[in-house]
Amino acid sequence: MVLLNRVHNLKKTNIFQDVLARAQGKKEVVSLAVGDNTGPIEKEVIEELLEEVRIFGTEGGHKGYPPEEGLDSLKQWINKIFYNGRFSSEEIFISDGIKTDLFRFQTLFGPEARSSFFLPGYPTYKEGCEIIGAPTHPVYLDFLSGFNPLVDNVPIFDVFYLCSPNNPTGIALTQKEMEALFAKARNNGGVIVHDACYAPYIQSKKPRTVYFDEQALDVAIELGSFSKWAAFSGIRLSWAVVPKELKFRDGSSILKAYTSFLNATYNGVSWLSQKMGCALLKRGNIYLKGVETTMKRVVSMKELFRSSGFEVFGGEDGPYFLVKTGVDFLEKYNILTLPLSSFATRYKGFTRVSGFVSEKNWEIVTSRLQNSF
Ligand code: PLP
């Protein structure tokens, strides 16, 4: 046998399935583990989707394959709403999810790239690298420093997968911390891939994008997604920004390489998802309503856990926060949360709590925690 099995060390299921399995067979479990926004999508957006579907059923209305890099109209909306029109259409690529795009960039940068990321963090940073055989150097966040990202601890890297605000901590980097990371990348010829999945949830003055000014243009790619704030996880729609200034060490353009890579390996995102994205964005800042509700929920959840005697961390700028447990929430309260040890085994005794919870379930959690003291 000559082939190397690169995936045999990966976990057989994703971490969330493992957690759900624990709750199976138990009655009246309330979940605070879900990291998915399944709220209803705006009626007007659905109407536009239905109209688009109808067009596909008409003679001559079927448009065939979409452009590999995405619809120009959607790119323009993204550029306008998230980046103040800073980029050209060629620098924005529409995709069907950050998860897919992460693996694309991991493949593009290849097995020689020394890759780093904060842990606990989104598992694909590590697992995607492991699949392609790229060496990884995790930077562990520490509860003694409140799970804050310590950029000084970041080693020299070829690629750094940054998630701000982070899943699972809900903590975002300050502008100064980002600038320190950009300097590290620039001084050592590295590139940052910023996973901005939860950026619209940032409540503080911390940057929602690495492109808050021009500094990151030659060191960072940014990945944005409609999954969480727009409840599009089941629709699948995201984007990647690859600034034209970004270069490989030999001086060649990352933008050009990525365009060729996509043309060779991808046939584009469904017209329907893209049209829904346009329909949503042209309605302006409407999406922030959902974000506001979730973040208000996070504030009251943190307060409840604190007043119930638990230490809590993070959650200022993202829909998740951490609780130092001391007890098994599932056993004691019939409440399911996501143990931090499922991100990295060293984090025993902490758990992630999610703000994506219905009003009804929140009331049940409140009464269970309040009645237990
Ligand atoms: N990045 C982070 C940090 C996530 O938590 C998730 C989903 O939970 C994703 C990316 C996946 O995003 P998408 O639905 O765009 O693939």
Summarised one tens digit per residue, pLDDT across range 9-35 is 777 656 677 777 777 878 889 999 988
For the chain, which residues make up each domain, given as ranges? 15-41+287-370, 46-281
Mean pLDDT confidence for 156-183: 98
Q: What is the pLDDT of residue 28?
A: 87
- C-alpha of residue 193 to centroid of ligand 1, in Å: 14
| 239 pocket-lining for ligand 1 (C-beta < 6 Å) | no
- C-alpha of residue 102 to centroid of ligand 1, in Å: 10
Which residues in 8-21 are b (16+ Cβ under 10 Å) and which e? eeeeeeebeeebbe
Which residues in 300-310 are b (16+ Cβ under 10 Å) and which e? ebbebbeeeeb
Reported as a pLDDT band with limits 50, 70 and 90, residue 42 is confident
| 35 pocket-lining for ligand 1 (C-beta < 6 Å) | yes
Which residues in 258-290 are b (16+ Cβ under 10 Å) and which e? bbeebeeeeebbebbbbbbbbbbbeeeeebeeb
Summarised one tens digit per residue, pLDDT across range 304-333 is 999 999 999 999 999 999 999 988 888 888
Percentage of the chain lying above the pLDDT 70 cut: 97
The pTM score is 0.96
The length of the chain in residues reads: 373
**CATH of 46-281 given 3.55.50.30, 3.30.870.10, 3.40.640.10, 3.30.9.10:** 3.40.640.10
Residue 233 Cα: closest atom of ligand 1: 14
**Residue to probe by mutation, ligand 1, list 104, 221, 225, 294, most atoms within 8 Å of CB:** 225
- C-alpha of residue 32 to centroid of ligand 1, in Å: 17
Give CA separation, 354 vs 37, 195, 340, 346, in Å.
Answer: 10, 19, 12, 21
**CATH of 15-41+287-370 given 3.90.1280.10, 3.90.1150.10, 3.10.20.600, 1.10.3720.10:** 3.90.1150.10
Of 52, 122, 128, the closest CA to residue 344 belongs to 122
Q: What is the pLDDT of residue 328?
A: 85
Nearest CA to ligand 1 atom 6: 197
Domains 15-41+287-370 and 46-281 share a fold: no
